[in-house]
Each structure stands twice: as structure tokens, then as C-alpha cells.
Amino acid sequence: MSIRPRGRQFFNNPGPTNIPDKVLRAIDRPVLDFLSEEFLEIHRACFQGLKRVLKTEQQLFMYASSGHGAWEASTANVFAAGDKVLMIESGYFSESWTMMCRKFGLEVEVMESDWRHGVDPAAIEQRLRSDTAHEIKGVLVVHNETATGLSHPVKDVRKAMDAARHPALLLADTISSLACFDFRMDEWGVDVAVGGSQKGLMLPTGMSLTGVSEKAMAISAKGGGAPRHYWDWREMKARDPQRFIGTTPVHHFFGLQASLALLEEEGLDAVFARHARLARATRAAVRHWGGLNDTSDPTNGTKPAQGERGPNLTAAINGPELYCRDPARYSDSVTAVLAPEGHNVDKFRKVALERFNLSLGGGLGPLGGRVFRIGHMGDLNEPMLLGALATTELAMKVSGMPHRPGGAEAAVESLAKD
Amino acid sequence: MSIRPRGRQFFNNPGPTNIPDKVLRAIDRPVLDFLSEEFLEIHRACFQGLKRVLKTEQQLFMYASSGHGAWEASTANVFAAGDKVLMIESGYFSESWTMMCRKFGLEVEVMESDWRHGVDPAAIEQRLRSDTAHEIKGVLVVHNETATGLSHPVKDVRKAMDAARHPALLLADTISSLACFDFRMDEWGVDVAVGGSQKGLMLPTGMSLTGVSEKAMAISAKGGGAPRHYWDWREMKARDPQRFIGTTPVHHFFGLQASLALLEEEGLDAVFARHARLARATRAAVRHWGGLNDTSDPTNGTKPAQGERGPNLTAAINGPELYCRDPARYSDSVTAVLAPEGHNVDKFRKVALERFNLSLGGGLGPLGGRVFRIGHMGDLNEPMLLGALATTELAMKVSGMPHRPGGAEAAVESLAKD
Amino acid sequence: MSIRPRGRQFFNNPGPTNIPDKVLRAIDRPVLDFLSEEFLEIHRACFQGLKRVLKTEQQLFMYASSGHGAWEASTANVFAAGDKVLMIESGYFSESWTMMCRKFGLEVEVMESDWRHGVDPAAIEQRLRSDTAHEIKGVLVVHNETATGLSHPVKDVRKAMDAARHPALLLADTISSLACFDFRMDEWGVDVAVGGSQKGLMLPTGMSLTGVSEKAMAISAKGGGAPRHYWDWREMKARDPQRFIGTTPVHHFFGLQASLALLEEEGLDAVFARHARLARATRAAVRHWGGLNDTSDPTNGTKPAQGERGPNLTAAINGPELYCRDPARYSDSVTAVLAPEGHNVDKFRKVALERFNLSLGGGLGPLGGRVFRIGHMGDLNEPMLLGALATTELAMKVSGMPHRPGGAEAAVESLAKD
Amino acid sequence: MSIRPRGRQFFNNPGPTNIPDKVLRAIDRPVLDFLSEEFLEIHRACFQGLKRVLKTEQQLFMYASSGHGAWEASTANVFAAGDKVLMIESGYFSESWTMMCRKFGLEVEVMESDWRHGVDPAAIEQRLRSDTAHEIKGVLVVHNETATGLSHPVKDVRKAMDAARHPALLLADTISSLACFDFRMDEWGVDVAVGGSQKGLMLPTGMSLTGVSEKAMAISAKGGGAPRHYWDWREMKARDPQRFIGTTPVHHFFGLQASLALLEEEGLDAVFARHARLARATRAAVRHWGGLNDTSDPTNGTKPAQGERGPNLTAAINGPELYCRDPARYSDSVTAVLAPEGHNVDKFRKVALERFNLSLGGGLGPLGGRVFRIGHMGDLNEPMLLGALATTELAMKVSGMPHRPGGAEAAVESLAKD
């Protein structure tokens, strides 16, 4: 980079996220023997604390890996090659998970959707009812699709499964929802919850986790699933208290201990309320940039048109607009913004980054170039968000992206009322 | 504090200032023997780099002390009890410096001023011309009055002294101007330049410095000045290369080495341009909050009314206004804002800090309660400033401070043009 | 721990190892977008630097995982269920690797050995010559067996394979040898070299790597190997320049950049010489504790007795002795010490840790209780090692472990001559 | 330095000292407004904690300065030019304090001594009795002379003053004793206790302190003493709760909070016992190097010969020997070692530093070249000390300094019994 902008970088990628200073400092310490009592105390506290975040009293396994590793763990322990699973389509990440499953020989049936609306639980129920032979072994859903800023209601997926009296396992990817907004593993009947360190847990990338129900654990324990070792729950459980295959990544635990302390000091409900408040302010800014307000938003609450499916890049207005069209499914951790037709977001993002030191997410897969994403999860407060939004507007102005000025003020107004 | 707000604190006090991560990390290292060659390399590089910042090739002394210590050093080495000096009144800090001088028995003649306009160099010239006996041994000026956001033109003070052919020493307090905006010790004929670590040098409080002309050095070397040891230039010079009385504060040097590297990487001119740009944006926001714009500002360019002197708290408008009334003297490192009559800034500042984690400066001395200050010096960029300004507006809204909404947008607009 | 000892912990576990302050500080920085040019510069530099450490110009893949993950990657890309491989037995870690292979359905033939001597390359050559059908697809060898302090000559294994004109792949686990002592991937014809972050690379646990020959890469690229995704070289190579499945662990790269800089500043040859020097001093201390010296060591250069195999815990003397009996195979990164008969090392290690803050490794698997291990790899110098050795002696004295006093002096003497 | 040694530097200078990681990390955080409640909580806790370390319930003032600044504060507040004080000679630092006093016009009468034995309290009593006019306003004593490793009994100085019914103030420099070994300000009747941050408090250089008795405070409050501002107790007390002239050095407080926590967690008595234990081990090593043991040490308990005074560099044996000759006055924080006649310590110290990364203190003033000093204060434990002592021996061997090998073992033995 020829011009390196000054000051602190505003990091509003939708994950990895800002790591609080206290967490960075906690990681910045000499190593400990992972078998020492001094470390095992930290280890125990982290397992217990993380279970409270997942809201589970069942099994928890962590891995030295990114979230994709936890995806492999989630399926390798319970599904064997040839098993059939139902993937709820949400966008880039449900597609990636699908691809991963297929590489291990699973038969993945994708329940397709318009990415701007997602799947209707009623359709899930209907599909499961039709599976009278119970060939479907698992229902896989991305709780929060990081690529689109749309959240699927995991609780309603469970209701649909129960209504269909279907015995499949429910797997939920909570990577970008956990510790950002409400997730309740046990209450919602989730069998495998997949999480990562680098989002709401505010840690560096490199540790991931799965909450595991006793039902799922039993499959793994009986030798079900696919060949595995690094991800093997049986093996990990046998290695209590350490529960890791290979050397335990103690530095991630040092960080996790600190981030759990921050979450508990604030309180999970307050954490969720803060995310919701900041997310509303973000959407207020985006609507304002698009010349809209809450009541005038033409995309608000629309149903997907007949035949619409997959990425849908038709812009409704000549300004930035919310990619997600269903207010009930707006994500509280990330907002994806669709640029007006004919406008590429890459130049704008480059200006934001290289001139103003604001890092925004780009569009993934088919959304590349047309969508940018504002992450608002983890270690974030009002001035951090307002600085990001005002600078987003500054970068739009400088780079010629059409917009109605005043988005930062709209966010201020939203926050003042909130 | 019952509610501890989350996320990063926005620190917009006008000093101490934000310390860049690279500087904090540079300080975060084991100690070194201050007599070791490894440390002396760092020491030499810091002295050389700091001289480039001061724009001097004369003497430089540093102290383990805050800026007030450097004030003592600046006078103790060159003035003895009974000596007369002329203090250019600027506000709280010129008053503090005056008090300090008097405690050491100096006779301080204060050249009084309206704090919102400062002193006219012509008046200085006139006073010096009248001092035909050259009883005045020194002219003392605070380059940037941190309490009011007004900068006195040191260069013009020198011109006035030269025009009056007066041999007094020129002492300038550059604590909140150095490395923020233009200062040229040698070119401007400054005999003693006083600086501190915690402003434009972006370091923790605790190290201070004086640039010293050969003329001033000669006085100290000949045994002039007051009794002294800790601040004694003679003694310090004799202790080359270490130049400290007592143990050298190596950790401040670790930080200084890193902050000088940042300043040099960006380039001093770019650093100054950045401060100017951010300062203009800040003033644009304040004017907007007050219902004004650049051309409509009634305070712009006014001369002090007959008899106005000292702190002048008469608000011209029913909204926030710039405390400094002379555009030629606006500070690029701090903006003091006068609240409308009848409005106390303390509640507003408390809301900003405790609810939104934004730390703003209060009014000092007689400005207490009526003035708040936005620091915009040191490690700052557009999103940091915009976050602070937008949150200032949010706190005004929440706390009931009258203002015209849209200040953050005005700052965005200013930055987009700049 | 009821009594928490003061001061810095001496960490002489044989991995993870001491992390230099510069590396910890490099990791202690805010996150970067892993797709940003600023990060990709770091990424490129790390890949290039690590290839220089591996001494390869072929392929390199890194993983967010511990070393066990890299083991899975090393076999999953080139071997399918049912493939036969030959494992050179060295101890606990060759056994673990064997178990892992078997879980993926590989047929593992173990070339057995006395763990205190290891396998003779001539025996490998003989076995490969007898495999005329070339059923053996790979030869797997742990370069440095961390559990026993014995290093197998990888170069000679390659020679044996070549002499037998056998086309099997050569896989070497370099986890505790890389950047500690000589390893040359390309020159020695290694097809897959497995490494981890937490040993000679002086990083936190959580990143691992495989150097991959073009021959091995071709197998993966053609779809050979086992089902895989997270470890899939095909997929990773297709994702140039990022080369990671899922989010890149940028903080490990921040650290790696710093540790590579340290290695290059010192020079790999100097790094190896330092390890060799410190290892010799360690062995001198151990021999002295056992009442021996270099020439009197009865275990020195002995051949395994007829029928000896596996862990061999028969102590030759009534004092601590080197577990490894072949001087040509002494490890320069870890020394395993066998306690005299009837003495358990656990009490002694507990005293060392809890009273004197010295962390030593215990015996793994069948060596538990009878062997302790002194790690001397990575960020270590003379006073660090001497502090560890003198404190080891202090802990022996306090805990009643028989020994001849003077081991620390023997180490001093060794270092003075070296 | 052409060869930069690897690994952690062993820092055994007798101050500044090792800073624990927890303290460095505590300092490594963003700035706080020094007037904010969040900071004032830390400030209060530090003042209270430090008073417990000083064992005083009277006044405490801290300064942004090194210890020499606190010296100035200690005299400027209570003595005016022309006042007479009695300085107990101990070595380099009593001489420096004397020079400082004289620069401020005090009349300093030095009670001379042989530096290897110090002053007899009986002589102090006698001198004070003879001062019937009470012309002596203060008795000044360096509790622990860092240059020689000799500690004067402050308690006995007070007894001598009381026995003489003399009203002078008692000032004690505790810079290198505080938090290392017993000091009790109130119980021992010390009027001004001078301390610094960089020794037993384990902080970076740059903060200093004075404990002040109500008697001394009254003098300052009534306007006694010399002209002063930066050090002025009156002014500082008036600025409660902040108690600083100028900006408070918040980062030193962040560190102090952490170091006080460490001291309190261990317990001051345990801290003192640890220092005593490590000091005994150090002296055992030195005696061994000199061919002596506790009973054979010819210097042990000798009285100064007639006429011996000042630095006394006559070596008694042909090996390293303890500089301090009075066992009752051995310092528990630093050991000064006299090299045999004809041997310069500088080459040896250079080898220790540049080849083995061990930093030892040199001889100050007239002891230069003939004495080296081993600091053993602050953040130190057994392996740290043993590493330093064994490496000292290694450097002696390599550099040709005569010594009997085995000092490290003697230290091990001492520690095992202790």
C-alpha cells in the first residue's frame, strides 16, 4: 500500500472482528504447560463459561482450527458417507457447508431460497413430513448468514422438525451469531452448534467449537460418523480434562478467559441489546442513504416474487439499500448493503480503506462487486459505529457512490431514541 | 462508575492523547541498562529525531517529569530570583506558568489579553521598546493555549522582539503544539522551547523536554539562573551521552523511538496537514451545531471589544460556539467550545463518558462548567474524529444541550472537500 | 496451586516452548482483513521465509490447527483407506501417528525398535527391498521423537529408500526438529514434511504446516488420498494467494513474521549451533548427576541387546541417566532423563514447578513417572539453560532424587569449552 | 553491538530491575483522563497500597521523576539555603545526595566512613549530642547504598537521635531497599522517606515518591524550605485527590497498581524472606568463587582498620570477594563484588553481556573497573538467580577472571537449606 493511513483502523468487516485490548493483552503472556493445574483452572473456567454462552449443559468440544474445521467436526462425528442431509439455503456459507459435506460423500439436498428472504419453516416442515422413511439424517442451517446479513430462525426450524415428528439431527452454524444475538442450544433442541473464536467471542481466528447434544454424542460414541481423529469427540472425551487431540492452544484460552469475563461483566442480555441497538442504527443510516426511512422502505416485508431464488441483485432504488428484505430476519451482527445498479463497491471500499483506514467487508461469491458489508458485532460501541458510518458516507461522497447525505445523523437519531 | 461502557474509549481530551498501539507495544518490553550500547543507540536516535521535530540544531535536554517540570527547567537555568520576565497572557496555562515563575522569585509582568483573541504582537513590540533599560530578561509565550484552543504566533513575537531590538530570551511552551502544527525553533529564534511527551508525541505522560539555544545555554553554563540540580543543563551536558540526572527513563525512550518513526514515516508536513484538516472539520461541526456556517459566524474575525480581558464567557448565540474568536489563531490541536448561556457542560460530558465512552475535556479554571474541549491531536484520523463528533452530537441530544443537528455531516462535508 | 511461585517461569517443557517477547508483542495487535494487501504482504513473506526454513522450493501449506492436524493433512492428501504404510517406530509420537493412520483405514506396518536406540536404516532398506510389489505407499518417520530425545536420520532413511529403489513417499514429522537442528526437505527427498508452530518456530500452538513435494502434490491434485476438505491441498492451492480453507489465522502470521525475522537475524546455522551447544551442556549435566562423564558413560554407544524393544526402562546406574543410548542420535532439542530404579519423577517435577517455578516435561505413555524431559529448543540461551539446570539440581536435592551434585558446573564447563 | 545474543536478557543490574510481565501488560493500555473517576479509583488504591509498603499513615507524595527528583523534593520542602544537615556517608549515592544539597545552598556536614563498614550509630549520637545549639536541621541516610551493597540501620540512627534528644529531621533514601527488605517509616520515626519506581516496586523508571511525616509536612505547609513548585507538598496537598503538579502520569499508576497487587499477593514478609534467601545464595557463590566459606571469610566481621575511610579497594584474597565487610550490613537487594588486585571487571562484564546476555552492574565512581554488582531485587526467583550466578561463573571462566569453580553449586546448596 503506497499510502498507509494514520490512526486506528476501523475494522467493520463482518468477522473477524475487533479484539478488545484486554483480550489481546491476556493473550500476550508466556506459555503455560497445558497439563499444569494453573492452566487446567483456566481451561475449566472457559469450558463452563462457553457453555453458558451456548446455553447448553450438554457436551462441548473445542478445536485448534477455524470455523471450517468445526464444520468438519460437526458432520464427521455423526454422518457417514452416503447419509442424506437437508441444507437450508441462505447464501455463500450454506453453499460452502454443502460443498464440504459433499466432499465427504454426504448426499445433500438443498432447500432452495431467495437469498434476500431465506427459507420458510413451513416448507421445511412439509419436506420433512414427506420423508416418511426418515432418510434425512440431519437438517443443517446457518443461523446468521454472514454473507447476506440474514438470520434464519433456528427455533422455528426445530418447531418444524418437531411438528413433522422427524428424528433428524439439527445442526446450526452459529459462527456469526453466537454472543451477538439470542441463541439457546438446549432450549431450541439443537444437536450440534458450530461456533468460531473470531466473531462475537472477540478472539483471534484459530479456535472453534461445537456444542453437542447427548443424542449426537451417542452417535459419535458408538462409532457412527466418518473416519476421523483430529475432530473425534469420542477420543476428545476420553482425554478429559484436556479434551484436545494434540497440544492444547493455551493462548486462545488465555484470550477466551478474558473475553468471557467481558461478556459476563456486561451480561449476555445487555450484549444482545447493544448489538440490536447498533444494528438498528446501521440500518437507519443505510435507509437514509437510499433516500428511504422505515415506513417508506419498498423492500420492507415483501415476499419473494414467484421464481426468485439464489442471489438477487436487482436494486429497487437508486441508492444503497439493505440486501436483506425481511425485517424479521435482519441480522444484528452484520448488514449487507446492495449498491445501486451500475455501481461497483470495490472502488468505494478501496477509498474507505486506503484513504480513511476503514475496513468494510466485500460481497462474497455472486454478490462480489455489488454488495458491501458492515460488520457490527463484538467489541463495538456507539462512537466506533458512528465513526464507521460517517466514514462510510465520507467514502461514498469521495468515490462518487450515489447516496442521500445524512446517514450518520440518522444513526445518531436512532441511537438517541434507543 | 456503575455502568462501564463497552468498546474502545474515544479519547478526545486535549492531552494526554491517544497512544498508538505501536508505541504502547514498543514500551511493553523488558528494561535495558541505560548505559549499555544497545540503549545508547536508541537514545542517540531519539535525540536526533526529536531535534528534527523541534527544527533545531542547538541543545536538547529531556527530563523524567511532566511538562511542568520542563517549565521549571526552562526558567531555573536562565533566570534568577528578582529577574523580570514578560508573560504573554493566553489563559489557564499562561497563568500557571506565571504562578510557577513567581514561586521562584521572578518578577512577572503579564501582558494581558482577552482570552478569546490573545495578545497583539504590536503591543509586545511597543512594550519592549519602552523597556529601554532591558530590565525584561525574557518573553514567555504559550504557543498553543490548551485551555482555549488559541495559538499565539511565536514567529511574530520574535519579529516584535527583533523590531524592538530587545535582547530578552524568548521562551515558548510548545507542549500542545509540537508535532501537531508548525513550530520552528531555530528559524523563529526561540531560546527555550518547552515540550512534553503526552501530546503530539503520542506518549504516556512522564517525559518532557527543552530545546535550548546556545545563547540560553551559555547563561546556564556560566552559572546563571537559580539553584538547581535535577534540571541543570550544565550538569546534564557534562553527562554526555546520557544527559540525565539520575536513572534514564528507558521505557519512555522505547516509546519515543516508535513515535518518532511514525512521525517520520508520515512526514511532519503530512502530520500538520492532517491536524489542520481534522481541526477544520471539527470547527465545521461546532459552527453547524451553533446554527452557523463559515460566512455567517458572527464571532469570526471580531476584534476584542474595548475593555474585554481575561476569560470572556458571554455567548453570542444560543448554541455551542467556538471559544476562540480569531480565525487566524484557531488551534489545530484543540477546539474549545462555549456552551450557550445557562447551560452547564458537565452533565453533557458525563453522558458522553459514562453512556457512550467518549472522553472530552472540561473547561479549566474560570472556564469550568461553561466550556468543553475537543482534542484532535496526535494519533487521530477521520473515522476517529467523526466517531467523536457524531457521539458528541448524540450526547448533546440525550443530555438536552441545545444544538442544530447535523454537525457530523458538516464535518463529513468539510473532510470530503479537504 | 496454593503457593504460586514468584518471578518468571522457566519453561523447559519440550514444546510448546518459550515465545520471545518480540513475537508475543507482534501478535498483540489489532486484527487485519486477511484479504487486504497489507496482510497479504505479511502472508507472502511468511510463506517465503518458512520455505527457507524447510529448505524447500516446492509446495507449502499451513493450517489453523495443532501439529496433529498437519499429520491428518499429510496422510489424507496422499493415502486412501487400505493403503499400506511403513512406520519407523521411535516412541510415543510414532505410536500416535500410527493410531491416527489406522483410524483412517490405512494399513500400518510398524518397523519396531528399542526406543533408546531407534531403527537401523539398513533394516528399512532390507524391508523395502523385500516389498517387490511396492505395496508400501509411504515411509513415515518422526525426525525427532519428543518423548525420548532421539532423532532418526531422515537423510539415511531416504538413502535406504533409494538404495532399495522403492517409490514410496517419504513423510517426516519435523515438529520438534524444525528450526532446531538440520532438516533439508528438498535435498533429502522428503515428500511431506510436517511441522508445528509451537516448537522451534517459537509461536503459540495453533498453526501447523506441511511442506509438500511436487510428487505428493500430484497425488492430491489428481484426487488421490482420502475424503478431505479442511486439509485439502487441491482446494488450498486453488485459493491462492490465501491458501487457507476458511478464515486465515492472521495473528499467527503476525507472530510468524516476527519469529522468522529472529531466525534470519541470527542465521539458521547459528541457531542450530546454539541448540547443539546447549544440548551438549544439558547432557554434560545429566551425565554428571549420574556420576558419569563422557568417557565413562556405560550406555554410550551400546547396541540394543537382543530382544530389547519398545520402551526400555532398565536403569543402568543409580542416578539420572540419558534415556537415549545412541550418541549419534541424541536430540539437540530435548533431553529425556531416566530416573534411577525405584524413583518416581513426579514428586521431583512438582517441587520444581510449585516451589521453584521451573516447568519440566514428564514421561509420556509408558515412560510416565520414570522419565522427565528437559526441553532446550527455541528461544533459549546460556543463562536460561543454566538457570533451568541448576534449579533441576536444586529440586533433586530438595525432593530426594539421588544425584551427584555439580551438574550445573558441568554444564558451565561444557559451555566454556564450546 | 555486533553480536546480539539470543534469548531473554538476564537483568541483574542493581536497579532498574526486571519488570514482571503482568506489570508491563498493565502499562500497555490506552490512556485515561487523570480526572476521571475510573482513574481516581486506581490512584486512590495506589496511594493506599504504597503507604502500606512504606508502613506509614502519614503523608505520601508521588512525582513524575526519577529518584533524584524525589531527593530534591525531600530537601526543598524542609530545608532552606544555609541550613545545616548531617550526611551519613555510605558511598556514591550519599556523595551524590550531598552534591545535590550543596547546589541548593545547604551546609552539609559529612559523617565520614570506610565504605566497606559504614558509620557507627554511636558516632552519630555523639555528634548530635555535641550539637547543643541544634544547628543540624536534618540527618540524611541512604538506607541501602546501591553502589556498595551495604545497608545502614535506619532504626538505629533514629535511636541515636532520640538518645541525643536531637530535634533534627531524619531523611532516609529507601530507593533500593523499599519492598526489598524491612523498612518501617512510622515505627522508625523517619520524617522523609525517598523512594523510586524502578527497584523493589518493579516499575519502569520515571515515578518517585516521598513519605512525609506530619512534622516535616508542617514545615513545608508553613512555607519553610526552598523555592519550589514542581515538588511542592503544600501545592500538591491542595490538589487533592490528584496530588500532582501538572499531568498525572497515569501509565505509571497502571503499573503500580499491578506491582502492588503482586506484592500483596505474595505478602511483604514473604517478599523480604525471598530477597534474604536469594541474597544469601549470592553471597555463598561469591565466597566460594573467592575460595572461602562462611566461617573462613577473613573479612567477616572485621572492624575498619585505623584510618581507613572512603572507598577501600585493597583486596584480601586472590579471587572475587564481597565488597561489604560487615555481615550485619549485607544488603539483601544488591551484592557488590571486588575483583582481585590487577583484574579489571569491565572485560568480564562485556563478555557476560555480549556473549551470554547477562547484564551486571559496574562499579560506580571510585569503584569503577574494580567492582561489579549483582542485583537481586524485585522480580526474581531461584532459577533466575541461579541462571545469573552460573552465567557469571561462565563469563569469569571465559574472560580469565580468577575464581574457584563451583559458585553456582554453592548457591544451590544455600537455597536447598534455606
Nearest to A29 among D21, D29, D30 (CB): D21
**In the predicted model, is pLDDT for residue A294 greater than 80?**
no
**Of D336, D333, D317, nearest in space to D116 by CA:** D336
Helix (H) / strand (E) element for C1: namely none
pLDDT by residue (tens digit) across C334-379?
999 999 999 999 999 999 999 999 999 999 999 999 999 999 999 9
What pLDDT is attached to residue A1? 37
Question: What chains are in contact with A, requiring at least 3 Cβ pairs below 8 Å?
Answer: B, C, D
Least-confidence region, from B291-295, B389-393, D273-277: B291-295
In this prediction, residues D112-122 reach a mean pLDDT of 97
Instruction: Answer yes or no: do C7 and D380 touch at CB < 8 A.
Output: yes
Whole-number Å distance between alpha carbons of D329 and D274? 17
| Three-state DSSP string of C110-127 | EECCECCCCCCHHHHHHH
**In the predicted model, is pLDDT for residue D327 greater than 70?**
yes
Residue D3 — very low, low, confident or very high, per pLDDT cuts 50/70/90?
Answer: low
Residue spans of alpha helices (H) in D164-249:
214-221, 233-238
Least-confidence region, from B85-99, B107-121, B221-235, D2-16: D2-16
pLDDT by residue (tens digit) across C27-46?
999 999 999 999 999 999 99
- The residue with greater pLDDT, C303 or B15, is B15
- CA C276 to each of CA C182, C279, C326, C378, D395: distance values in angstroms, whole numbers, following the listed order: 10, 5, 16, 12, 19
Listed by start position, the domains of chain B span 10-16+267-417, 21-264
Is the backbone of residue A231 left (phi > 0), alpha (psi -120 to 50) or beta? alpha
**In the predicted model, is pLDDT for residue C3 greater than 70?**
no
Residue in A closest to B410 by C-alpha? A406
pLDDT by residue (tens digit) across C305-321?
777 889 999 999 999 99
Q: Which residue has the cell 496555562?
A: B93
Q: How far is C300 from chain A (nearest CA, A)?
A: 31
pLDDT by residue (tens digit) across C159-189?
999 999 999 999 999 999 999 999 999 999 9
Residue in D closest to C274 by C-alpha? D6
**In the predicted model, is pLDDT for residue D298 greater than 90?**
no
What pLDDT is attached to residue B301? 65
**In the predicted model, is pLDDT for residue C2 greater than 70?**
no
Whole-number Å distance between alpha carbons of B408 and A387? 9
**Of B64, B335, B92, nearest in space to B205 by CA:** B64
C10-16+267-417 maps to which CATH number? 3.90.1150.10
Q: How far is A173 from chain B (nearest CA, A)?
A: 26
Instruction: Answer yes or no: do A27 and C32 touch at CB < 8 A.
Output: no
D-chain CB neighbours of C406 within 8 Å are 406, 409
**Of D108, D139, D134, nearest in space to D121 by CA:** D139
Residue D15 — very low, low, confident or very high, per pLDDT cuts 50/70/90?
Answer: confident
Over its C-alpha atoms, chain D yields an Rg (Å, rounded) of 21
Q: Which amino acid is at C69?
A: G
Whole-number Å distance between alpha carbons of B274 and A3? 13
Question: What chains are in contact with C, requiring at least 3 Cβ pairs below 8 Å?
Answer: A, B, D
Residue C66 — very low, low, confident or very high, per pLDDT cuts 50/70/90?
Answer: very high
**Of A51, A16, A26, A35, nearest in space to A259 by CA:** A26
Give the phi and the psi of residue A342 in degrees, each rounded to 5. 85, 0
Instruction: Answer yes or no: do A245 and C17 touch at CB < 8 A.
Output: no
pLDDT by residue (tens digit) across B118-150?
999 999 999 999 999 999 999 999 999 999 999
What pLDDT is attached to residue C296? 78
User: How confident is the prediction for chain B on average, in pLDDT?
Assistant: 96
Give the phi and the psi of residue B75 in degrees, each rounded to 5. -100, -35
Instruction: Answer yes or no: do D30 and B11 touch at CB < 8 A.
Output: yes
pLDDT by residue (tens digit) across A127-142?
999 999 999 999 999 9
Enumerate long-range contacts of B365-369, CB under 8 Å, 24 or more apart: B365/B91, B365/B92, B365/B95, B365/B147, B365/B311, B366/B310, B366/B311, B366/B313, B367/B91, B367/B92, B367/B147, B367/B148, B367/B311, B367/B313, B367/B323, B367/B336, B369/B344, B369/B345
Residue C4 — very low, low, confident or very high, per pLDDT cuts 50/70/90?
Answer: low
Q: How far is A392 from chain D (nearest CA, A)?
A: 26
Least-confidence region, from A2-11, A44-53, A398-407, D146-155: A2-11
Q: Which amino acid is at D78?
A: V
**In the predicted model, is pLDDT for residue A315 greater than 70?**
yes
> CATH classification of C21-264, choosing from 3.40.50.2000, 3.40.640.10, 3.30.565.10, 3.40.50.1860?
3.40.640.10
Whole-number Å distance between alpha carbons of B146 and B336? 9
In this prediction, residues A56-79 reach a mean pLDDT of 98
D-chain CB neighbours of B36 within 8 Å are 353, 359
**In the predicted model, is pLDDT for residue A2 greater than 50?**
no
**In the predicted model, is pLDDT for residue B195 greater than 90?**
yes
Instruction: Answer yes or no: do B204 and D228 touch at CB < 8 A.
Output: no
3-state secondary structure of D296: coil
